[in-house]
Amino acid sequence: MQKKLVSVLALSVAMSAFLAACGNNENNNTASPSASESSSPSPSPSASESAPASESASPEKVENFTVSLRHIQIGDAQKFRKAILDDVVKKTEAEVPGLKIELDPVEDSVNRFTKLPAEMAAGNPPKIFSVFGGAGDTQKYAKAGRMLDLTPIIDELGLKDKFLNVLEPFSVDGKVYGLPIGGNTEGIFYNTELFAKYNLNPPTTWDDLIKAADTLKQNNITPFAVGSKGAWVPNMLVNTLIGRIAGEGANAGFITGDTKWNSPDVVAAYQLFADWEKAGYFTKGELGKEYADMLNDFVAGKAGMMFDGSWRSSAFKNDAIGAAVAGKVAFVNLPAVPNGKGDQTSVNANYGEGYGFSADLNENEKKAVKAFIKNMYSDEMQLRGLLEDGVLPSMKLTDASQVTDPIVKQVLDVLNGAGASFPHFDSIVTSKVYTETETQLQKLIAGKATPQEVGDAIQKVQDAENAAAAK
């Protein structure tokens, strides 16, 4: 009996020693080939499988490692962008010996508002991840020391002067922490077939827009498809309305205090939105509809227009999700609003979405990141993004004359014809203020708050955030 007790104790000691060894494993970096299988920085089944194979292939000792890559290119509507990403990944893997990039696809808003913030809080973000610029995203994470300073890398790769003037939302104190993949503008997509059917002019002037909306409404067609379950979708229109009515500089003024959310101009923008809501211009039951439903309604011809980002243009190709309306869709800027302030040809232009990198990288992973940046931010991929996916380049392109897609051409025309541009406020205000705009907008849609109450509530949060920033 006593022997048994001793052996149990011995076993438990052995177990704890074993567990402790497991914990230390991370620090033992690949001393021997056999160790490399268990101690790669982010262990994965695929890494250990590929380990012996490549070892036998090359006489040099190659360390196998994996790098996690979080991307948001999921679903049919994103397939062109996913193809570009796949090619970049393949190229990068070929260039860096032993590298295996592990893709981790997550839906856009889940990644942006739920998963990445939680990972950032825990300090274990993926090594490469999709991230947005601005105070609520990149700048917040960079200030907390979670993101890799890319300044030396883009200097080394000679990319610094190749980017358009778009790195500001990704920079803190002159250091660059993320790189935008491309840009977009938000405007009106309309169904030319439906417009022709009801003898409507393209919605290029305010009167034509209102007439189109009213006529469609009378014919039981939703004027504007929208899916407001995620309030960022209707927020696109609100953002541009604020830019039109309060002037193109208004959005940037929220954090400086120059613009107030409850100022008459901004409230007027919310009022206009509420009026449209009352007039029944938007999809019925929009608060229960997802972003994808909005495209579906538009493609099915249930709605004549939708206010969406130019990234949607690739959905209307013959082999894409919106093939049913391919060739029957056009894109225009939101027309000049009567009595609006500022330049009424101004457009909303965002270079918000891009890639960022974890600050916690070892030498090998840094090599992989460098190769990824080199391959992703190249002339070739930027041009492919524009031609295949309708994403506006974030870098200076030597030749953009090959664009044949009619909608992409219209998007480029809108941008070229713009007198000024303004960013989306989601890349300017902090995340607390931005989420308040979402909460309040849904209340406005549900008829639970007036435009003035919406403005007051958001300004209250903005004041608190501005005061905290001034500290």
Partner 1 sequence: MRTTLKNPYVYFIFVVPTIALYFLFFIYPMLTSVYYGFTNWNGLDTKDYIGFDNFANAFKDEDFRNSILNNLYILLFSCCVQVPLIVVFSLLISGVKRFQGFYKTTVFMPSILSTSVIGILWGYIYDPDVGLINNILKTFGMDPIYFLADTKWALVSILITNAWQWMGFYIVLILAAILAIPRDIDEAAMIDGATGVQRAWYLTVPLIKPIINVVIMLSIAGALRVVDIVLVMTDGGPAGATDVMASYMVNKAIKFGDYGYGTALSIIIFIFALILTALYQILIVRRQEKVEY
Residues that bind partner 1 (CB under 8 A): 1-2, 4-5, 12, 113-114, 117-118, 120-121, 140-141, 143-144, 146, 229, 284-289, 431-432, 435, 439, 442-443, 445-446, 448
Q: Give the containing element (helix H, strand E) for 413.
A: helix 406-416
Residue (173 or 319) nearer to partner 1, CB:
173
Q: How far apart are CA 458 and CA 447, in angstroms?
A: 17
Residue keyed to tokens 């994996």: 66
| Least distance from partner 1 to the Cβ atom of residue 257, Å | 22
- Please give the structure tokens belonging to residue 123: 């300090």
Q: Is 241 exposed, middle or buried (0-12, 13-18, 19+ CB in 10 A)?
A: buried
Tell me whether residue 378 or residue 431 sits nearer to partner 1 (CB atom): 431
Residue type, 378: S
What is the smallest separation between the CB atom of 317 and partner 1, expressed in angstroms?
Answer: 26
Closer residue to partner 1 in complex, CB, 99/147: 147
Residue 73 to residue 438: CA distance in whole angstroms: 24
| Beta bridge mates, 370 | none
* Residue 141, CA distances (Å) to 109, 145, 259, 319 in order: 17, 6, 26, 38
Nearest-approach distance from CB 89 to partner 1, in angstroms: 29
Residue whose CB is less far from partner 1, 21 or 144:
144
| Residue (227 or 340) nearer to partner 1, CB | 227
Q: Closest distance between partner 1 and the C-beta of residue 239, in Å?
A: 19
Measuring CA to CA, how many Å separate 207 from each of 192, 319, 337, 370?
Answer: 17, 35, 9, 52
Alpha helices in 262-402 (DSSP H): 264-278, 291-299, 363-376, 379-389
> What is 206-258 written as a DSSP string?
HHHHHHHHHHHHHTT-EEEE---SSTHHHHHHHHHHHHHHS-TTTGGGTTTTS
For residue 449, the minimal CB distance to partner 1 (Å) is 8
Nearer to partner 1 by C-beta: 12 or 201? 12
Nearer to partner 1, 415 or 444 (CB): 444
Shortest gap between Cβ of 297 and partner 1 (angstroms)? 9
* Least Å from the CB of residue 458 to partner 1: 14
Q: Which residues contact 10 (CB under 8 A, 6 or more apart)?
A: none
Contacts of 295 (CB under 8 A, 6+ apart): 77, 225, 306, 308, 312, 315, 321, 322
Residues in the chain: 471
Residue 309 — left, alpha, or beta (φ > 0 → left; ψ -120 to 50 → alpha)?
beta
CB of 113 to partner 1, least distance (A): 5
Least spacing, CB of residue 428 vs partner 1, in Å: 17
Would you say 197 or 443 has its CB closer to partner 1? 443
Nearer to partner 1, 192 or 439 (CB): 439
